[in-house]
Each structure stands twice: as C-alpha cells, then as structure tokens.
Amino acid sequence: MIEIIPAIDLIDGRCVRLSQGDYNSQTTYDAAPLDVALRFADAGVRRVHLVDLDGAKASRPCNLHVLEAIASATDLDIEWGGGIKSREALLDIFSAGAHHAICGSVAVRQPDEFRTWLAEFGGERIILGADVRQGKIAVSGWQEESLLSVDALIDTFLPDGLTEVICTDISRDGMLTGPSFDLYTRLQSAYPKVTFTVSGGISGMDDIRRLDALGLPRVIVGKALYEGRITFDELRVES
C-alpha cells in the first residue's frame, strides 16, 4: 500500500495551506500544529511532512519550536522543508528533531554543497525537493523559477547517491484537482531506483488509490485532510 504522509504547513507557528504556492491565498486553520501531529500519530501515521513557509521566504528555519515540540511529543518520522540554505540550518533542523531534510533551492543554486550533504548524511536523510511549475523547477518558496527541468535536476545528483525525491506540481498544490498522474508515472519509470513522493492536488482517497494502483510508493496529503475530504478514520484504515 502507498504510504500516506500528512502535511503540516507553517506560518507564524500556525497550520496554514496555500493555493499554488501563493502566500496571498493563505488559509489558516484553528488547530495547533502539535495537536494536529498528535492526531496523525493516533491515526497510525508513521511519517509527517513539515514545511516552514516562513523559512522558505527568509532563507533560514523560522519555526524550529514547532519541530521541537512535535519531535518531543511523538515518535513520528519527520521530514522538514523550508529555509535549509546552509549547513548551519541543516544541523539546526536535525538537532531540533527532524529525521529528513528536504532541499530544493540549495540543490539548484549550490549543487556542490548539496552533493556534500548527500555524501555526509546519505540519500535517505537528504531528500531532493523538486518543485515544478510549467515544466521548470521553482525555488525560494516557489517565488522564483530556474531554467532547470525536473529530469535535469535529478540527473545532476544521481551519481552522488540521490535516492529520494519529493516532486510537487505547484499548479495543482492546494487546488484539490487531482495530482499529475502522468508526471509521476513517467518519473518513476525513468528513475526506477529513486523513491518518488507525490505532492500536490490530492482531492480524496480515490486519487490515492489510483496512485497506489500505478505503483507510486508515497503521497503527501494536505488540504484534502484539513477540508475533510479525507477523514482521520480513512487515514487510520489506509495507514
């Protein structure tokens, strides 16, 4: 069964969701991040996806207190993205309790640094965040676009031990319109030794079951959970 990874996106220490990465289209939810994480853990979730949206804009982690609280109160396997632009930031998020670091901007702008991290910490802990808009990689909290394609970015680091990629289709993120099935099946077929995590557009359990049938190993779910399109009972059964 495909692994479902719930997302907690953070601004000012609170749970939020954006649409298509637009900070002006923010929805803030009442539940505290720790309470949400505890509910995920109770539902049998093993891994949670934390995104520091403040950190993505500030180029440094800004919500480490939330990470520390969740790591202290749960046994969840935590993957963290946002603001990891330096070795100091990388060590900070690991010290605060993250098990995995999701790196996008640094892989594009400082590829040699990213290679060093892969060599030191391994491909299981250092995850490539490949965020795609109109076929090109976007960086800095999706505020800027590069000239790289997702394939070119992956090809750059395959010889260096890259094994995990979280690929987000920004055009679908937070839109509840379904994921880019063709994109993910193509990538998984092209790079069979890489574990791909689907991100963006999940509208309900039917999308997840289709991804599972297609052989995709992992999927991140955000807005569909917060909007009640996927219930915690369904999450408990499927996890």
Q: Please write down the HEC assignment for all residues of 123-167.
A: CCCEEEEEEEECCEEEECCCCEECCCCHHHHHHHHHHHCCCEEEE
Q: What count of residues does the chain have? A: 239
How far apart (Å, rounded) are the C-alpha atoms in residues 29 and 20?
Answer: 18
Is residue 131 annotated as a catalytic residue, yes or no?
yes
Let me know: does 51 contact 82? Beta carbons within 8 Å.
Answer: yes
**Catalytic entry in 92, 131, 169, 207:** 131
List, in order, residues 6 or more apart from 186 with CB less than 8 Å away.
none
How far apart (Å, rounded) are the C-alpha atoms in residues 6 and 74?
Answer: 14
In Å, how far from its chain's centre is CA 239? 18
Is residue 54 annotated as a catalytic residue, yes or no?
no
Let me know: does 51 contact 62? Beta carbons within 8 Å.
Answer: no
**Any idea what DSSP says for residue 175?**
T
Where residue 54 falls (left for φ over 0; alpha for ψ -120 to 50; beta otherwise) is: alpha
H/E element holding 195? strand 195-199
- Of 37, 67, 70, nearest to 55 by C-alpha is 67
Which residues are known to be catalytic? 9, 131
